[in-house]
Amino acid sequence: MDQFVSNFTNRLDAKGRVSVPAGFRAVLARDGFDGLHVHPSLDHQALDAGGHALLGEIDTILAALPPFSEERDHLSTALLGVSERLRIDPEGRVQLTDGLVAFTGLRDQVSFVGLGSKFQIWEPVRFQAHLEAARLRLRALRRSLGPPWTASAPEGGER
């Protein structure tokens, strides 16, 4: 299965254009998605992005909620009502709208972070802080789970 993995930081030009990492463009192409589906993250000051796999996950979540329910309407609004479909130009760039740039606080650089079926777009300093917080939470979770998670930790440190 093709997944978005790793992280990359690219320059954002004065017109709001940024190069989508080649590996991410390849996943989108194999997914058959023409462009990039983007919406503000529900949990972070970042953007969720992807193709058919991301839209399929959103459809699955929405289908599990009762039709015409308040929960389904709220989730639809948050995931689809504010989403944008961005075109990837021949040079592999997308042009981020002013609203997307403002939501994320992007300035001159953009971090792309692979999350499997989707990726996120972050302001690089915020991403580094998020990554460190995620590592700390994972270490605490590992300690609370006990062996085998903690059994092979290197002496004097954590894995």
The pLDDT tens digits for 150-159 are 655 555 555 4
Cα–Cα nearest to 120, from 37, 2, 59: 37
3-state secondary structure (DSSP) of residue 33: coil
**Once rounded to an integer, what is the mean pLDDT over residues 110-133?**
97
CATH of domain 7-145: 3.40.1550.20
Neighbours of 153 (CB within 10 A): 14
- Tell me the whole-structure pTM to 2 decimals: 0.87
Of residues 142 and 149, more confidently modeled: 142
> Tell me, what's the pLDDT at 151?
55
- Domain segments of the chain as ranges: 7-145
Structure tokens at 127: 């991403």
51-91 per-position pLDDT tens digit: 999 999 999 999 999 999 999 999 999 999 999 999 999 99
Give yes or no for a contact between 20 and 4, defined as CB atoms under 8 angstroms apart. no
Residues in contact with 134: Cβ distance below 8 Å, sequence separation at least 6, in sequence order: none
| Model pLDDT, residue 1 | 57
> Greatest CA separation found in the chain?
55
Tokens of 7: 């992280």
Predicted confidence at residue 67, as pLDDT, reads 93
What is the C-alpha to C-alpha distance for residues 116 and 151, in angstroms, rounded to an integer?
Answer: 27
Of the candidates 119, 121, 131, the residue with the CA atom closest to the CA atom of residue 18 = 121
